[in-house]
Structure 1
């Protein structure tokens, strides 16, 4: 694992591709696409047991295949694989995507694999084989009511290779319901870690999630990299748009499913 993102391309050539992520989203230049319909979240309200592992470069929460996703003009059904967070360091923001040049305090990604692929490795050969939901956080005076459970779990995996389990967890405790997430941005991009596979349909929700300064400090302080150094600044700098178009949803108009599929074909060929 190369720690400096500017050097990734020397070992992982795809990190120098033309559809890399994250990006800076310029809100005034996003194109409205009425085909970007609401999502259908599967299993978000159910209590599940999830495993959490310190992989040496991030902290990954593994999700069961009972959690999934459809809708959102995506070309098929997707099963969840994991979720994870990106953060900076004390006093500095750490989101991956930026909005009009502004980096937010933290970002959460839920990674989904397109059916019937059985793994991320299989899905990486499909331009839309992976659907990634991105939630940006804004700092608030009040705590997020359910983040402390995850923070406490992070404290149990301080070192590389350590793992733990979170019992009776519900994604709906952390992220809003699909009915509250009808406004979002969509673009075609890549994974934000090596090998930067260009197989991701990105959804960046406009609605931000709350995190208090206390909780943000706790996230940043819990884990260590494989080197033993504090796990901070775990975000990739924004990448060039390279001619891609960023779309935004228009929840006031829902189009037939055939139009949704055709619209996604347009996204794939920009």
Structure 2
């Protein structure tokens, strides 16, 4: 019953994100998500090693064209995540996507103020817990992996993509790490966030086909409902690579700046 009331508050009565804290006190907490990652302020943490994935080859196909009736896709029990500076082994429970309208900004996290058209969240809980609900009572009970999608042209159309196509590469990917929360009520502060620096390609057609299709639960479609970035407060964002490696952003302006830095014999990022 209580759960239904929560659903009502979020979906039907639908107060804006700034009102969430009135019904869900955690939403006003000090380690909320999403955040804007300021690359010149991130700190390198040598403990942030590669991830180790178990069972990712069993992940089923997910069709971008096939919208289904829900934003959450649930996993079988076979997918595990460890390494990456995480305090335990975690099992994948579900993944979901956030996207905007008409191919515009739809990611929840941003990097140096830039938002991407779409963001994928793969949600894991510590192996010892039976459900997401159990894991939320542990300040590091949940591990979420976030990938940004970028419209890349030309890009061959693929009818569906497998997480397995993405995940094996993730052990080579560099990433940001910070302690945060769920991005929907009750905003439980139990999530170790990993935000990957490299973006994943998606075509304009695929992105447009998803527009207006994001459903929360099985209720009506809601687009552009994403939480704005939250204050970092006293938190530090860590990175798995030394700061000077952050020059390799897929961005021409950055490239020219980096070349300028190199030839000016200046350090790229202080």
Fold-level similarity (TM above 0.5): yes
Map 1:134-213 to 2 at 5 A: 134-143=146-155, 146=158, 148-149=159-160, 170-181=162-173, 183-213=174-204
Q: CA RMSD in A?
A: 2.3
Aligned residue for 1:54? 69
Map 1:251-266 to 2 at 5 A: none
C-alpha displacement of 1:6: 1.5
- 1:132 equivalent in alignment to 2:125: no
C-alpha displacement of 1:176: 4.9
- Structure 1 distance, partners of 2:82, 2:24, is 31
- Structure 2 distance, partners of 1:243, 1:115, is 29
- Structure 1 distance, partners of 2:241, 2:212, is 39
Change (3 A) 1:144 1:96: farther
Choose the corresponding residue for 2:23, options 2, 11, 14: 11
Secondary structure, counterpart of 1:7 in structure 2: helix
State whether residues 147 and 195 of structure 2, in contact with CA within 8 Å, keep that contact through their aligned partners in structure 1: yes
Map 1:110-125 to 2 at 5 A: 110-125=122-137
- Structure 2 distance, partners of 1:81, 1:227, is 21
- Structure 2 distance, partners of 1:121, 1:207, is 31
Secondary structure, counterpart of 1:187 in structure 2: strand
The structure with the largest helix share of the pair is 2
Map 1:79-94 to 2 at 5 A: 79-94=91-106
Moved more, 88-97 or 78-87: 88-97
State whether residues 157 and 203 of structure 2, in contact with CA within 8 Å, keep that contact through their aligned partners in structure 1: no
C-alpha displacement of 1:38: 0.3
Higher relative contact order (CA 8 A, sep 6+): 1
Stretches of structure 1 lacking an aligned partner (at least 5 in a row): 151-169, 252-270
Change (3 A) 1:9 1:216: same
- Structure 1 distance, partners of 2:156, 2:206, is 8
The structure with the largest strand share of the pair is 1
- 1:96 equivalent in alignment to 2:108: yes
C-alpha displacement of 1:19: 0.3
Matched positions, count: 226
Aligned residue for 2:227? 236
- Structure 1 distance, partners of 2:201, 2:167, is 10
- 1:249 equivalent in alignment to 2:240: yes
- Structure 2 distance, partners of 1:223, 1:76, is 32
- Structure 2 distance, partners of 1:188, 1:249, is 15
Change (3 A) 1:14 1:54: farther
State whether residues 58 and 78 of structure 2, in contact with CA within 8 Å, keep that contact through their aligned partners in structure 1: no
- Structure 2 distance, partners of 1:91, 1:38, is 32
- Return the TM-score normalized by structure 1: 0.77
Stretches of structure 2 lacking an aligned partner (at least 5 in a row): 1-8, 243-270
- Return the TM-score normalized by structure 2: 0.77
